[in-house]
Amino acid sequence: MPGFGRCRGGGGRWLAAALAGLALLGCGGEDRASGPPVLAWYVFDEPSGAFAEAARRCAAASHGAYRIALRPLPADADQQREQLVRRLAAGDRAIDLIGMDVIWTAEFAAARWILPWPEETAQRVRAGRIAATVASATYEGRLWAIPFTTNTQLLWYRTDRVAAPPPTWDAMIQTAEALGSDGTIQAQGERYEGLTVFFVSLLASAGGAVLSEDGRSVSLATGPTREALRVMRRLADSPASAPGLASAREDQCRLAFEAGGSSFMVNYTYVWPSARANAPAVAEAMGWARWPGVAPDRPSRVAIGGINLGVAAFSRHPDLARQAAACLAAPPGQRLAAGRGGLPPTLAALYDDPAVRATFPFADLLRATLRDAVQRPQTPLYNDVSLAIGRVLHPPSAIDPARDVERLREALGRALRSEGLL
């Protein structure tokens, strides 16, 4: 198996076992006269070339059973979903593999746009992966995709201004206010998916949840919900809040932090290589810590992100697509995604790999955070649920913790009942 077989840590043996376990998934009598089938992989346009290289190596490792052609999706997750939903709803047979945002699992599975993973191989797929990543690919007890890459937010701070990272949001806001003009906190407050991530993470850190475990009813216990809303409003009202909080996304936060005028930022791991490349003086004084908690005695729980690999229900080559997915998500493919693309692995053991640790010097912190990560609401109606949260909680400066608990319950109840388009 060229390329992959030479990777460290037994990656070649893992891939061989995965392919052997899937050997029963044959080529379906494909006419080979015109060459091997080409599997179309629809996934976001990953800029480093890691996905393209993984696809090339997996095709080589298949010994001519298939090739993989990347079909790049837009950078914006909402636009990715919109394009895929339109094509899948029309039964498009040109889609074989889907690089799925973790929040799409329930919707795509309930609509039968993707195929469940066969139970005889699902256990091998789950083995060794961080539990939260497996949960993100699971719906109603069945595995619907292979966890490929993952991510979650950390707290990034200036070690030249702050002696130790604050453990809670209240402590961080207080510390930032004491720093004056250099104490700005960068967070995501625009009405988009980042605001939902912010709220879900605060709510889980306070001990609450948006929906019940089965995803069919609203949870939002009063105490934790009010605490999460209180923190959002306190941040918005604080002089340490970035002036553009209500219109800030991840990249605006990254750029503002790299400019040097901020001391704190909650954001994903890509900000580390970005700062090293674009603002080395800032990176030199850049520390990392666990996302701040809401209560001093309760560790934070942060919403998980990432990409899972689903097999399209209308694919002409579902068996080969499963083989390809198993290859792409094996250790060598995850090393490529980590080393070149800065995308964290879903396999827990890879956080001990020297090459991965070189990319992520905060690997232990990241793995621990992922082990405690929380899912965003797992429901086929997730898109409406997220929109409802954004409607009620934007702008953060208008949040009323006493009033908005009930407003959230009402809005989410309407979303679950599909009462009107949000």
Per-10-residue mean pLDDT for the chain, 422 residues long?
35 42 38 79 96 98 98 93 97 98 98 96 95 98 98 98 97 98 97 97 98 96 98 98 97 98 97 97 98 96 98 98 98 97 97 97 98 98 97 98 97 91 48
- Closest Cα partner for 241 from 269, 268, 275, 264? 264
* Pairwise CA distance, residues 297 & 295, whole Å: 6
pLDDT in tens, 117-132: 999 899 999 999 999 9
Task: Provide the terminal-to-terminal Cα distance of the chain, rounded to the nearest Å.
Answer: 50
Burial 6-30 (b: 16+ CB within 10 A, else e): ebebebbebbbebbebbeebebeeb
Share of residues in the chain with pLDDT > 90 (%): 90
CA torsion, points 73, 74, 79, 80, in degrees to nearest 10?
A: 30
Contact 185, 242 (CB under 8 A): yes
State CA 315 to chain mean position distance.
25
CB-based contacts of 29, cutoff 8 Å, min separation 6: none
Contact 367, 39 (CB under 8 A): no
Query: CATH 3.40.190.10 spans which residues of the chain?
Result: 4-151+305-371, 154-302+381-416
CA torsion, points 279, 282, 284, 287, in degrees to nearest 10?
A: -130
Structure tokens at 277: 């490349």
Neighbours of 120 (CB within 10 A): 10
Contact 331, 315 (CB under 8 A): no
CATH number belonging to the domain at 154-302+381-416, selected among 3.40.190.10, 2.60.120.260, 3.10.20.90, 3.30.70.1430: 3.40.190.10
Residue type, 170: D
State CA 351 to chain mean position distance.
17
Say what the pLDDT of residue 10 is.
39
Neighbours of 281 (CB within 10 A): 11
- Closest Cα partner for 387 from 350, 356, 412, 359? 412
Q: How far, in Å, are 185, 289, 337 from residue 172 at the CA level? A: 8, 12, 33
Say what the pLDDT of residue 420 is.
58
Please give the backbone phi and psi of residue 408, each rounded to the nearest 5 degrees, phi first.
Answer: -65, -45
Task: Judge: domain 4-151+305-371, CATH 3.40.190.10.
Answer: yes
DSSP state of 1: -
Q: Rounded to a whole number, what is the largest CA-CA distance in the chain?
A: 72
Structure tokens at 347: 């396999």
Contact 414, 390 (CB under 8 A): no
Say what the pLDDT of residue 370 is.
98
Residue matched to tokens 């080589």: 60
- Closest Cα partner for 129 from 353, 347, 345? 347
